[in-house]
Structure formats: structure tokens, C-alpha cells
């Protein structure tokens, strides 16, 4: 007992030093208590935008740390339902079965996007109707000559099935927005894991056709004008043509939280609708939901 008591003052001193090291210099909350950590996961279409938002927000609020990863809209929503992320990014609206699975997801439309139809610059085809695009991807058309191009086989490129862009394209383009339409991608469609992968393949392959969010389209591919039907008009994707509802392949971009957000998550969501955050939307080629 005497041995233990002899070392007690030293132990108390060491403990005091440890606690002091964990405290802020002004004697306030510990650094762990003062910091906020937000886990954000989901849509690959949105990942560059979400990263840019996170970087800008952290510069304004250094006490907040935001982790952003992709993996697809379905992956992000599943993680939200499982309670492993704070915010799920999605380039499609949450499905009824996902909404019912738990977590009481709350939806925020944080930006808009046009899906551009892209081909190789050597391809003479410069306009397509929604029906023609559907017929290409469902396998009815196999040769570019069937849609006014050269006698070349069509190489179809698509995002993978966990992608919100894939789901949207299937429902709104292949199936033309018709709930009872059961059209599917032809098995010959090549599924690629990223938007950048589609752009790269189109750039290299003169027979390829692909689709990408407008923010991922690069100058070295050709964007095709799209019409709802053969009577036109054929419209190029842009912020203006999305906002005036002329471009037929446009969608909202979403963030979902588990229930109504509070604290640091609520503050971050609110900031996304600020002029500064929506200006980043424009810079990256997406369409703002609030004019900067």
C-alpha cells in the first residue's frame, strides 16, 4: 500500500498532462468534441461535385471534416439505410422499397444534370430521337447506317447497373418513361464502371455510342442533339435547355439523410443551397437549383 501511495502523485500529474493535451489551448472543448465528421457516399456522377463542395465547405469551416466516396447511387442509399453514412448522393430518386427499408430518408434536390449522348468525332451522326436511342440500346438497330450514319457496327456503352445514371437511362430513355414498358439493354451493351471510362472509350472507338452526365463530357467527344420525336426540335444539352425543359434527358441530383438532419449535417445541407455552393455547380458543368 505504501508503494502504491508513493507513486500516486506522479500518476495524477501524468493524468493531468494527458487531459491537458486533449484540450483546446483556451481550455474549451476537446478537439474531438469540437470537430464534426460527415460521411458522404454514393453517385459517381456527383462525386466530383461533392468533393468540390466538401473542399470549399471545409475551408470555411475547418472544424468540419467531410469524407466523400463514390460507388454508385444504389451503394450510397444502401449505406444510408445500414447506418454507415450520414449523407447518400444519388443521381436517381430513391425507390419505394428503399424508402420503406428504414432510416426514414429525407430528400434534398441539390443540383440538376443533363445526360449527354456522345459519339466519336468521326461519326457523321449529329442528331437522334429518343426512340432511335432506345432502339440502339435495346438491339433493334445494330448498324450506324440505320440512323443516318456510315455502314459500321454500333458499339454500345453504358454505366453499370448499380449506377443511378444507368437506372435513369433505362427508365426514361430505353423505356421512354412508360411504366409498363419492359425494354432492356441488349446483352451486347458494354457496362463500364465510371463516366470517365465511357468518355475514354468513345474517344478511342469510332463505332461507339455512350451517355454521360454533362459535367463529364470532354471537348474530344461529339455530343449529339436529341429530340423527343422525329418532329423535333433537336436540342443540345446545356444549363439553359435543361432549365427551360427543352432538352429531353435531364434529371435532378439528390442528397438523402437519415431523417431530418441536425447539427453539422443540417448546416452543411443548408450551405449547399447558397450562392457560393451553387456557383460550384455551374463551374463543374451541372445545372444549379438556385441561381448563384
Q: Are residues 154 and 172 in the same domain?
A: yes
Q: Is the pLDDT of residue 25 over 50?
A: no
Contact 107, 93 (CB under 8 A): yes
Task: Tell me the CATH number at 54.
Answer: 3.40.190.10
35 confidence band (pLDDT: 50, 70, 90) = confident
- Compute the average pLDDT of residues 165-171: 94
Beta strands in 86-137 (DSSP E): 87-90, 105-119, 127-129
What confidence tens digit (pLDDT) does each residue in 136-166 have? Answer: 999 999 999 999 999 999 999 999 998 999 9
72: pLDDT strictly greater than 60: yes
Confidence class for position 241, pLDDT limits 50, 70, 90: very high
**Structure-block grid coordinates of residue 130:** 429518343
- How many C-beta atoms surround the C-beta of residue 175 within 10 A? 17
Q: pTM for the whole thing?
A: 0.79
What span, in angstroms and rounded, lies between the C-alpha atoms of 110 and 5?
A: 62
Could you tell me the three cell numbers for 173?
A: 430513355
Q: pLDDT category, 23, cuts 50, 70, 90?
A: very low
pLDDT 10s digits, 187-229: 999 999 988 999 999 999 999 999 998 888 999 999 999 999 9
**Distance in angstroms (rounded) separating the CA atoms of residues 237 and 149:** 21
* Residue 205 lies inside a defined structural domain of this protein: yes
202 domain-assigned = yes
- Number of structural domains (the chain) is 2
Instruction: Give the span between the Cα atoms of 105 and 113, in whole angstroms.
Output: 22
Owner of C-alpha cell 436517381: 92
Domain identity same for 121 and 107: no
| pLDDT for 292 beyond 60 | no
- Asked if 234 and 152 sit in the same domain, the reply is yes
Please check whether residue 149 lies inside any domain of the structure: yes
CA 250 distance to own-chain centroid: 14
N residues, the chain: 292
b (16+ CB within 10 A) / e for 95-113: eeebbeeebebeebebbbb
Per the domain annotation, does 23 fall within a domain? no
In a domain, 216, yes or no: yes
| Full residue range of the structural domain in which residue 173 is found | 114-250
Amino acid at each position: 500500500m505504501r508503494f502504491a501511495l508513493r507513486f500516486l502523485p506522479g500518476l495524477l500529474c501524468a493524468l493531468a498532462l494527458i487531459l491537458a493535451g486533449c484540450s483546446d489551448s483556451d481550455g474549451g472543448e476537446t478537439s474531438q468534441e469540437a470537430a464534426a465528421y460527415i460521411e458522404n457516399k454514393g453517385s459517381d456522377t456527383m462525386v466530383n461535385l461533392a468533393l468540390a463542395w466538401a473542399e470549399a465547405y471545409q475551408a470555411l469551416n475547418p472544424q468540419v471534416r467531410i469524407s466523400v466516396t463514390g460507388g454508385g447511387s444504389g451503394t450510397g442509399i444502401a449505406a444510408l439505410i445500414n447506418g454507415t453514412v450520414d449523407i447518400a448522393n444519388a443521381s436517381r430518386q430513391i425507390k419505394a422499397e428503399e424508402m420503406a427499408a428504414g432510416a426514414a430518408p429525407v430528400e434534398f434536390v441539390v443540383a440538376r444534370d443533363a445526360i449527354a449522348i456522345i459519339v466519336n468525332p468521326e461519326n457523321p451522326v449529329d442528331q437522334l430521337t429518343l426512340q432511335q436511342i432506345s432502339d440502339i440500346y435495346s438491339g433493334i438497330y445494330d448498324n450506324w447506317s440505320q440512323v443516318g450514319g456510315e455502314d459500321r457496327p454500333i458499339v454500345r456503352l453504358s454505366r453499370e447497373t448499380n449506377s443511378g445514371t444507368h437506372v435513369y437511362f433505362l427508365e426514361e430513355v430505353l423505356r421512354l418513361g412508360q411504366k409498363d414498358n419492359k425494354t432492356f439493354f441488349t446483352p451486347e451493351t458494354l457496362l463500364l464502371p465510371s463516366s470517365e471510362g465511357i468518355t475514354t472509350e468513345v474517344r478511342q472507338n469510332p463505332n461507339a455510342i455512350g451517355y454521360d452526365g454533362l459535367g463529364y463530357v470532354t471537348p474530344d467527344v461529339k455530343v449529339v442533339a436529341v429530340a423527343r420525336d422525329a418532329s423535333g426540335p433537336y436540342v443540345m444539352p446545356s444549363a439553359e435547355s435543361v432549365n427551360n425543359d427543352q432538352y429531353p434527358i435531364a434529371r435532378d441530383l439528390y442528397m438523402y439523410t437519415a431523417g431530418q438532419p441536425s447539427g453539422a449535417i443540417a448546416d452543411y445541407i443548408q450551405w449547399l443551397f447558397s450562392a457560393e455552393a451553387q456557383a460550384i455547380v455551374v463551374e463543374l458543368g451541372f445545372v444549379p437549383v438556385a441561381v448563384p
